[in-house]
Structure 1
Amino acid sequence: MQTLSPMALNSFLHRRFACKKFDPNTPLSKEVLEQILEAARLAPSSYNTQPWEFVVLQGAMKDKLLPYVYFNTELVKSCAVLVVVGYMHFSELNAAYLSRFYTKEYHERVSKGVEVLLKERLKNDQTLIEAYMKEQCYIAVGQMTLAATLMGVDSCIIGGFEAQKVQSVLNAYFNPPNIACLVALGKAAMPTTIKARKEKGSAIKYLL
């Protein structure tokens, strides 16, 4: 298995940034796009719940969301691809759904934990369950955007949009999931933003 050196990985980590302007004339190849989406699909999730769904918009379909992305209009207009990251409806997170991914042995091992999760931690409450599923989606989003960087593609995670209006657009084509965020992909038409982060000593603690 190929590995990256610490220096090479650090270079990629600094290369990934919230791109606010893309080159509208540079398309994203189907092969590269599919691999970026595959990175998101293969992301880990609590109890392997995989509550996500990725709706890929390009061209005219992407433009249908322009009225509902607030101050991100130019960003969405210029990106090659817009991925709508959704999470399934809370009632669908049940034993029948989870059994699709579990072997019998795995199901026997974790079924009690899932039951405790839903009944005790999440109180079988719609708001808590949806918040739990939404946080799982961000694991996939992080893996998606890092994979994009590794493949030479720039990205921006978008939280500024009208979720209900986005759902209403998609509703004309299928029953859309709840919307967690949008991810714009393409080739940057701006310099890489230098990261402003906490110092290591403030962000990382070692306990021996």
Structure 2
Amino acid sequence: MSLVSFARKRYTTKAYDATRQVDQTTIDELLELLRLAPSSVNSQPWHFVVASTAEGKARLAKGTQGVFAANQGKVLDASHVILICTLSELSDEHLATVLDQEGADGRFRDEAARTTQQNVRGGYVNLHREAGDTQHWMEQQAYLALGTLLLGAASLGLDATPMEGIDRNTLDRELGLADRGLRSLVMVSLGYRSDSDFNAALPKSRLPAERVFTHL
């Protein structure tokens, strides 16, 4: 099946079959896709909280109370739920960790190449620090990971639901994210749709190509 076929097939699942679980091999492959997601200047300003147990999903479901209650079943009935988080600060320590990993993975032919990478990335980071939009920039990178996750899930035969309708402050407190230098951003349920999922039978709808593309 082509990549476009997966994109045409995937949709936002509204109800899950709580009796079906995703096997660990498939989850491991999906998590590796997340780890390999692209980010601006390879900044990787993210962390992923993965819930697979009833207890873990119940903790994440605390972020779907009150005005977000419509999303609670999508968390509790799913096989797995992933909370995508950003760093609360793009620190020099994190940047040094990324640089060291790049070195360990053999990306630098010599010390000059390492210094060039450090300076280029630092230059972009400083641009955002000076503009005061570093958090927004990190969130943009996390949404690149979200896109990777959704298309990857479809390619592996999984249903998925991205949810911005969550109480981030509640989740931050429940998981102690602030103490870990993290902030919750968006949550994704994964599993297999229920027969009661009305959205599964609806046709996909997107604006036509002539409306969304300009060819130069």
Instruction: Report if aligned partners of 1:154, 1:188 keep a CA contact under 8 Å in 2.
Output: yes
> How many residues matched?
198
The amino acid of 1:102's aligned partner reads E
Root-mean-square deviation (Å): 2.1
Aligned-pair CA distance for 1:67: 3.5
CA distance in 2, matches of 1:96, 1:65: 31
Given candidates 137, 153, 162, the residue that maps to 2:158 is: 153
SS in 2 for 1:123: helix
Deviation at 1:167, TM superposition (A): 1.4
Task: Give the Å deviation of 1:93.
Answer: 4.9
Structure 2 residue 87 is matched with structure 1 residue 88: yes
Kept in 2, the 8 Å contact 1:82–1:182? The answer is: yes
Q: Which residue of 1 aligns with 2:26?
A: 32
Please state if 1:98 is matched with 2:92.
no
Give me the whole-angstrom Cα distance separating, in 2, the residues matched to 1:134 and 1:115. 18
1:57 aligns with 2:51: yes
**2:61 aligned partner:** 66
2:137 aligned with 1:143: no
Q: 1:162 to 1:202 in 2, by over 3 A?
A: same
Normalising by structure 1, what TM-score?
A: 0.86
Aligned match for 2:212, one of 196, 203, 207: 203
Give the TM-score normalised by the residue count of structure 2.
Answer: 0.83
> CA 1:11/1:192 → structure 2, altered by over 3 Å: closer, same or farther?
farther
CA pair 62-160 structure 1, distance change in 2 beyond 3 A: same
Partner of 2:172: 167
Q: Give CA deviations for 1:119-147 in whole Å, capped at 9, x if unaligned.
A: 2343173xx11111111011111111111
1:186 to partner: Cα distance? 0.4
Whose helix proportion is higher, 1 or 2? 2
Aligned residue in 2 for 1:117? 124
User: Which runs of no fewer than 5 residues in structure 1 stay unpaired?
Assistant: none
Amino-acid identity (%): 22
CA contact (8 A) 1:54 1:84 kept: yes
Q: What is the distance in 1 between the residues matched to 2:56 and 2:131?
A: 36
Gaps of 5+ in 2: none
Paired residue for 1:19? 13
Q: How big is the shift at 1:201? A: 0.5
Moved over 4 A (4+): none
CA distance in 2, matches of 1:169, 1:120: 33
Structure 2 Cα separation of the partners of residues 114 and 124 of structure 1: 16
* Partner Cα separation in structure 1 for residue 102 and residue 175 of structure 2: 30
| Letter of the structure 1 residue corresponding to residue 57 of structure 2 | K
Letter in 2 for 1:31: T
SS in 2 for 1:90: coil
- 1: CA distance, partners of 2:9 / 2:47: 27
Is 1:42 aligned with 2:36?
Answer: yes
8 A contact 2:62–2:171 mirrored in 1: no
**1:202, CA displacement in angstroms?**
0.8
